[in-house]
Amino acid sequence: MKSNKTLLTILLVISLLFNCTSKAQIYPDTNWSRAENSSTNGWDDTKSSIFTRYLIDSTNITGLVIVHKGQIILEYGDIEENSYIASCRKSILAMLFGKYVENGTIKLNKTLEELNINDVSELLPIEKKATIKDIISAKSGVYLNGSNGGDFRRYAPERGSVNPGTHWLYSNWDFNVAGYIFEQETNRSIYDEIEFQLAIPLQMQDWDKSLQRKSGNYEISKFPAYHMWFSTRDMARIGLLMLRKGKWNDKQIIPETWVNEIITERTSYEEAQKSVPLLKSDGLDLGYGYMWWLVENTNDYRLKNAYSAQGVLGQNITIYPEIDVVLAFKTKSDYRRRNSIQTQMNIMKKAVEIYNPN
């Protein structure tokens, strides 16, 4: 009788250990691991080949990876070379805020007036009422030109006509000021923070701080753009960190509450499309959080609750929480190649159409 109880206990322990192991989340160390027999885990080999053919024939993508449950299941092109990631920089900056919002160093309700923010063109009294929260939501109500182009300021209402926090507009003035505020309030360089908060703990393979630099036309605005250069496979690490709610192995890198905050809807897709009608033709309905785009109004369960960092030419990090997938792709600007936003949306959809676990 005693031996039977002992055997039962051993079997129970083994069962518990097996279940814990089978549910353990996988993270890359210094190198990514590749999934074996991905076709048995829902990734159709034929569809993967068709998708790769699509990338070659119909896009200018220079590097792409799909990660499922922490392992690469598909890669294409050069995933190692660092290159310009355009507006994906904004989403990465949003991540850096978390540590300092949590410890009170950055107070999201602080106004531009309290922060002593002004520019080449004087801010109006109503514009000075905008808070940090308004800035990182792209709802400042400040419609000055940014020091660099590449936004939707052409759709801006008349200056002073809307209250801060009430109207969404994708404007580089907001995003560049967000970078300035981050450095002013923390007394830390954005690039140092990327290194210490992300590159080192995530064991990025290709991070090179010497490549990172700011630029802009200071005669237009004194706030430069904080440009960034990453490899595709390191972008995927950022996506996996977001997918895992800011946790990497056993360490909480970005506060989980902050990850949830930055992907909480601040602007619905209806509001975004009303502000910028051009967005209606993109191919996906996108809302907005804190400098992250949110996929909304979709019937595809694989796209439900997905969100992404996006940049001009074809830079993208998309997280699909419902299926434990990260997509990262880019187009090297030095080659003068570009992809339309519609092409980016198509890639976001086609990548997960490969996956069918049933």
For 46-353, CATH number? Answer: 3.40.710.10
Distance CA 173, CA 212 (A): 20
pLDDT class of 24 with cuts at 50, 70, 90: confident
> Phi then psi for 73, rounded to 5 degrees?
-110, -15
Per residue in 189-245, pLDDT tens? Answer: 999 999 999 999 999 999 999 999 999 999 999 999 999 999 999 999 999 999 999
Calculate mean pLDDT across residues 325-334. 94
Tokens of 318: 């998309």
Q: Is the pLDDT of residue 168 over 50?
A: yes
Contact by Cβ (8 Å): 171, 143: yes
Q: Which of 4-8, 22-26, 294-298 has the lowest mean pLDDT?
A: 4-8
- Find the farthest-apart pair of alpha carbons in the chain and give their distance in angstroms, rounded: 87
What is the per-residue pLDDT for 16? 44
What is the per-residue pLDDT for 20? 41
Mean pLDDT score across all residues of the chain: 93
What is the per-residue pLDDT for 39? 74
Calculate mean pLDDT across residues 40-52. 93
Distance CA 207, CA 198 (A): 10
What is the per-residue pLDDT for 275? 97
Per residue in 292-310, pLDDT tens? Answer: 999 999 999 999 999 999 9
Q: Which residue matches tokens 């809302």?
A: 287
Q: Which residue matches tokens 């198509």?
A: 346
What is the per-residue pLDDT for 10? 46
For the chain, what are the domain ranges?
A: 46-353
E strands along the chain, which residues? 63-68, 71-77, 83-84, 213-215, 225-227, 229-230, 247-248, 251-252, 285-288, 293-296, 307-311, 315-320, 325-330
pTM (two decimals): 0.92
- In the beta sheet, which residues pair with residue 320? 325
Calculate mean pLDDT across residues 269-294. 97
